[in-house]
Amino acid sequence: MNTTLHTAIVKNTALQLGFDFVGIAKARQLDDEARRLEEWLNRGYHGEMRYMENHFDKRIDPTKLVEGAKTVVTLMYNYFTDEEQTDPTAPKISKYAYGQDYHHVVKKKLRSLLETINTEIGEVNGRCFVDSAPVLERDWAKHSGLGWIGKNSLLINKKQGSFFFLAELIIDLELEPDAPIRDYCGTCTRCIDACPTGAITEPYLVDGSKCISYFTIELKAAIPQEVAGKFDNWMFGCDICQDVCPWNRFSKRHDEALFEPHPDLLGLTKNDWEEVTEEVFRALFRKSAVKRTKFKGLKRNIDFLK
């Protein structure tokens, strides 16, 4: 078994498919991460995201997801754009949701990678994951040397920052693992200082139930009045802790056509959003991740900003 050759095939194919970075880690149970996850859940930092309590054993052990797993391949797919909404007073939408739903776009590429592995190396048992299963993606990215987990709990890549989707390929093929890198956050606290709702309770620890993204996407009930006036005009998601991160000065514009926004999206005014109809919502977000919040949810968010 030529692990060096196989590793080169996997990495080169991933880059050819458009992934920006690829890292490899040995599949194993993540004991330290298991303790941290358990403490995070016990604090109730997942709020109403009850699914975070499910499949704990699978979250910490990839061999529970793929029998005989030997390797976790982590891939990074850039979504950064310098395009902005034209009306500075309009409710804001996170960059990751400008274009088509990343789950479908990235998973299609992952499947192509797995097909190539099976064709060029031989039959491999594996599964593709794009934020859709119990996988500790940021931890695997860290162990794969793709970056470090910042004080805002996001994976930061030294070359291009944090505006990336993470994806994983868990396979029963042995590859050469990469070494993790050190933390480069230093004494910086910009993300902590900038968070309007105080969701980053301490460095490297985020109370998910206080995050603007949680309130505008995950929370199905009414948004509590105690956070009124603290959303900095975000109606879907939030980019604040990334926008202020010094490492994102190295971000480069993505070249994925499917991530381009609907032609009308960025030009909508504050008044347009406040009067948005379900018909317009469907046209704008037909293939978008914004569909997750549904029209009713987005209207709730917009009304909360008034």
Same domain for 71 and 160? yes
How far is 192 from 209, CA to CA, in rounded Å? 16
Same domain for 194 and 232? yes
Helix/strand/coil percent split, the chain, to 5: 40, 15, 45
- Number of separate helices (H) and strands (E) present in the chain: 11, 10
Q: Report pLDDT digits (tens) over 87-106.
A: 999 999 999 999 999 999 99
Same domain for 18 and 161? yes
Q: What pLDDT does 210 receive?
A: 98
How far is 143 from 137, CA to CA, in rounded Å? 10
Q: Which of 131, 178, 243, 272 is catalytic?
A: 131
- Residue 89 resides in a domain: no
Average of per-residue pLDDT across 234-247? 98
E strand or H helix at 76, and its extent? strand 71-78
Same domain for 59 and 134? yes
Same domain for 241 and 280? yes
Q: Report pLDDT digits (tens) over 40-49.
A: 999 999 999 9
Write out the residue range of the structural domain in which residue 224 sits. Answer: 190-253+260-305
Higher pLDDT, 53 or 133: 53
Same domain for 295 and 147? no
Instruction: Give the chain's domain count.
Output: 2
- Residue 176 resides in a domain: no
Q: What confidence category does residue 1 fall into, taking pLDDT thresholds of 50, 70 and 90?
A: low
Q: Report pLDDT digits (tens) over 62-88.
A: 999 999 999 999 999 999 999 999 999
Q: What pLDDT does 67 receive?
A: 95
Q: What pLDDT does 90 receive?
A: 98
Three-class SS string for 16-82? HCCCCEEEEEECCCCHHHHHHHHHHHHCCCCCCCHHHHCCHHHHHCHHHCCCCCCEEEEEEEECCCC
Q: Is 131 a catalytic residue?
A: yes
Residue 139's identity, in one-letter code, is D
Same domain for 289 and 167? no
Average of per-residue pLDDT across 2-29? 98
Q: Contact at 8 Å (CB) between 166 and 155?
A: yes
Same domain for 142 and 29? yes
Q: Contact at 8 Å (CB) between 212 and 94?
A: no
Domain end point (choices 171, 203, 230): 171
Closest of 199, 139, 204, 206 to residue 166, by C-alpha: 139
Same domain for 207 and 236? yes
Q: What pLDDT does 108 receive?
A: 97
Q: Is the pLDDT of residue 247 over 70?
A: yes
Same domain for 195 and 166? no
